[in-house]
Amino acid sequence: MTKQQDINVGKISGVFGVKGWVKVFSFTDIRDNILNYSPWLLKKGDDTRLVDVLDGQLQGKAVVAKLDGIDDRDQAASLMGWDIYIAATQLPKAEKGEYYWSDLIGLAVETKSGEPLGIIEGLLETGANDVVIVKGERERVIPFLQGHTILDIDLEAGKMIVDWDADF
């Protein structure tokens, strides 16, 4: 069950200057890593637009980018609120035992005794450790601790095995 999908990596949040630069709210772990990916697929509602990233940098706490074909402040302003996606194939291959969150969403989760718990709806960073949000007959929040609560992840089979009490 290998998934090829677009991954939401940020959002255009404003304009920067008068020459068409946009401010970007980046979801990447190192904020300006978003600039390493081009092209971006911009989405807003049913509209999409593929744009090349020509330049970019950290500007204070913000990320700013120059996009191909966006040459003035009004054009940049028209992109405010658009989500930024990249193709999953643009990401470097994960090392063995490492996973992109986007690869885990949608996996079936079951206990080590084979009891189904639901489907991974999302993951959250909590500071102490990440947690997996599993929705089945009810929602469960399971710590993402490989080798402890997370026993096995099989992306091809679309399944995660956990050491977790189904009643918890």
How far is CA 140 from its chain centroid? 21
**Domain-by-domain residue ranges, the chain?**
6-89, 101-162
pTM: 0.70
Mean pLDDT of the region 142-147: 93
The domain over range 6-89 is classified in CATH as 3.40.1350.10: no
* Residue pLDDT, tens place only, 76-134: 999 999 999 999 888 888 888 888 888 899 999 999 999 999 999 988 888 788 899 99
CA atoms of 30 and 87, how far apart (whole Å) = 18
**Which residues make beta-bridge pairs with 10?**
26, 84
* Residue pLDDT, tens place only, 33-58: 999 999 999 999 999 999 999 999 99
φ, ψ for residue 162, nearest 5 deg: -125, 150
The domain over range 101-162 is classified in CATH as 2.60.40.1220: no
- Residue 53 in contact with residue 10, Cβ under 8 Å? no
